[in-house]
């Protein structure tokens, strides 16, 4: 009889709570710990930097009202150096703050007070979107358009000169959706449902912000887009020839 060695245990998803209110961090840690998460806490930006530079972190829950450093500045710092998912969790519920957070590269925005069950659903959602695809059994499949190559397995976008275009998880998900539906108008609601699911609720401006960020990375002139076109009162259209390679 041939015995097989057990597979090594998979590491727990690592959640970093950046909040100066220890009661909130403790409640999140207790709740998420029941559902198979490893949770760390940081009370300010300096502690957050120390954790992300020392350890692998999958998702950061980031408060905006931190001492000494604004959460928006920390979001910008993370997006320049780190590729994990960022969910802003804050008491600021104004639309302009949501837009700024998304513009800076946050993947989601949750206002306090929040329901822990909803927060868990949102964290699981971004983890599903950013999880690496299983190793393909055949040759890797890519999609080319206008000199770019998109690799869904590696979740990467390469420009014509061979350089990688750095995309946030939300930007990649949006582009991947557009690439799969070229020359077809997609409404904001359809895009939101496909990427975030109904649980995220209607927030059309979030899609507009992500479209704007994506245009700046793939358009020659983002003020006069030729790839990702707006269709008045309808949504967006990806006006490119897409080839599977």
pLDDT tier at 119, thresholds 50, 70, 90: very high
Once rounded to an integer, what is the mean pLDDT over residues 223-229?
94
Q: What was the pLDDT predicted at 198?
A: 47
Can you tell me the distance from the alpha carbon of 150 to that of 103, in angstroms, rounded to the nearest whole number?
Answer: 22
Fold type of domain 14-130: Rossmann fold (3.40.50)
Once rounded to an integer, what is the mean pLDDT over residues 214-234?
93
- Cβ contact 118:106 at 8 Å: no
Model confidence at 121: pLDDT above 80: yes
CATH number at 143-244: 1.10.10.10
Once rounded to an integer, what is the mean pLDDT over residues 29-54?
95
Over the chain, what is the mean pLDDT? Answer: 86
Q: DSSP assignment of 17-56, as one string?
A: EE-S-HHHHHHHHHHHHTTT-EEEEESSHHHHHHHHHHS-
The predicted-structure confidence for 69-81, as pLDDT tens digits, reads as follows 889 999 999 988 8
- Cβ contact 87:60 at 8 Å: yes
> What are the residue ranges spanned by the domains of the chain?
14-130, 143-244
Model confidence at 199: pLDDT above 90: no
Can you tell me the distance from the alpha carbon of 183 to that of 211, in angstroms, rounded to the nearest whole number?
Answer: 16
Q: Which of 28, 59, 22 is nearest to 42 (CA)?
A: 22
Task: Please state the pTM of the whole predicted model.
Answer: 0.66
């Amino acid at each position: 009889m041939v015995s097989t060695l057990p597979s090594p245990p998979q590491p727990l998803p690592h959640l970093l709570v950046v909040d100066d209110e220890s009661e909130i961090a403790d409640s999140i840690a207790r709740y998420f710990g029941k559902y198979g998460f490893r949770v760390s806490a940081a009370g300010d930006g300096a502690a957050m930097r120390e954790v992300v530079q020392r350890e692998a972190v999958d998702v950061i829950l980031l408060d905006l009202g931190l001492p000494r450093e604004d959460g928006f500045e920390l979001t910008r710092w993370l997006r320049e150096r780190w590729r994990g998912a960022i969910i802003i969790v804050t008491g600021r519920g104004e639309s302009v703050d949501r837009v700024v957070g998304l513009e800076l590269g946050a993947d989601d925005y949750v206002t306090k007070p929040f329901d822990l069950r909803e927060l868990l659903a949102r964290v699981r959602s971004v983890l599903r979107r950013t999880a690496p695809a299983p190793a393909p059994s055949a040759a890797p499949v890519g999609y080319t358009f206008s000199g770019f190559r998109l690799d869904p397995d590696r979740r990467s976008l390469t420009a014509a000169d061979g350089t990688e275009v750095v995309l946030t998880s939300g930007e990649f998900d949006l582009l991947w959706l557009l690439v799969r539906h070229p020359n077809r108008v997609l409404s904001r609601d359809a895009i939101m449902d496909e990427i975030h699911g109904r649980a995220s609720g209607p927030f059309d401006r979030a899609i507009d912000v992500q479209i704007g960020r994506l245009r700046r990375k793939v358009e020659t002139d983002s003020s006069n887009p030729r790839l990702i076109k707006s269709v008045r009162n309808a949504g967006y259209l990806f006006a490119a020839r897409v080839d599977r390679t």
